[in-house]
């Protein structure tokens, strides 16, 4: 059997198509691996940030006492009343702690918006928004956040106020 140039060209096209298909399958697998790796890194960064905040509070007796006092007062009377009961130094400590926490929550919300994290991941933070949002507003923390995040926080707080 002898192959002429057209037969060789047809074989080349056939094998070329097979190689393209194999390459596309390989690339799709690589994208899935990269996506899982990215998700793992995001979750690790979240865990690191939460751990750092816990270590920060745990290593400072003054901050630990301020946080305990704020959360106790918030449970008894709400965020705004709790803030009013704190002295200026305690409010300042709370401001900086909450600013860091709020930035972390904004970052997680941004990742959810961009499809880097599941929407279910953010559900737990909505409870924190409902609880601490009034304090964020009173402390002026929301003005430091992205407009989209600030709007979402205001929406969650409006829904909370409507059901209260």
pLDDT digits (tens, 9 = 90+) for 87-102: 999 999 999 889 888 8
How far apart (Å, rounded) are the C-alpha atoms in residues 3 and 14? 15
- Residue 58 pLDDT exceeds 90: no
- Residue 46 pLDDT exceeds 80: no
Q: Is residue 21 part of a domain?
A: yes
Q: Is residue 87 part of a domain?
A: no
Q: Is residue 16 part of a domain?
A: yes
How far apart (Å, rounded) are the C-alpha atoms in residues 106 and 90? 24
Q: Is residue 121 part of a domain?
A: no
Given a contact cutoff of 8 angstroms between Cβ atoms, the answer to whether 101 and 133 are in contact is: no
Cβ atoms < 10 Å from Cβ of 67: 20
Burial class (CB in 10 A: 0-12, 13-18, 19+), 163: exposed
Start-end of H helices in the chain: 5-59, 61-77, 79-85, 88-113, 120-139, 147-163
Q: Is residue 24 part of a domain?
A: yes
Q: Is residue 36 part of a domain?
A: yes
Q: What is the mean pLDDT of the chain?
A: 87
pTM for the predicted model, two decimal places: 0.68
What distances in angstroms separate CA 30 from CA 16, 39, 111, 124, one per listed residue?
21, 14, 21, 31
Structure letter (DSSP) for residue 117? S
Per the structure, the complete domain to which residue 40 belongs is given by 9-58
Q: Is residue 14 part of a domain?
A: yes
SS3 assignment, position 21? helix
Number of structural domains found in the chain: 1
pLDDT score of 1: 66
Residue 86: band (very low, low, confident or very high) from pLDDT cuts 50, 70, 90:
very high
How far apart (Å, rounded) are the C-alpha atoms in residues 63 and 137? 21
Q: Is residue 151 part of a domain?
A: no
């Amino acid at each position: 059997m002898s192959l002429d140039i057209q037969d060789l060209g047809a074989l080349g096209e056939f094998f070329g198509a097979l190689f393209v298909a194999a390459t596309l399958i390989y690339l799709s697998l690589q994208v899935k691996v990269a996506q899982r790796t990215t998700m793992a890194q995001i979750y690790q960064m979240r865990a690191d940030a939460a751990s750092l905040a816990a270590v920060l509070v745990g290593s400072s007796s003054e901050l630990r006492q301020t946080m305990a006092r704020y959360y106790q007062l918030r449970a008894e009377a709400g965020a705004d009343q709790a803030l009013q009961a704190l002295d200026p130094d305690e409010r300042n400590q709370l401001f900086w702690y909450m600013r860091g926490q709020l930035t972390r929550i904004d970052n997680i919300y941004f990742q959810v918006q961009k499809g880097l994290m599941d929407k279910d991941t953010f559900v737990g933070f909505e409870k924190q928004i409902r609880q601490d949002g009034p304090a964020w507003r009173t402390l002026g923390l929301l003005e430091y956040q992205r407009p989209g995040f600030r709007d979402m926080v205001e929406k969650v707080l409006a829904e909370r106020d409507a059901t209260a």
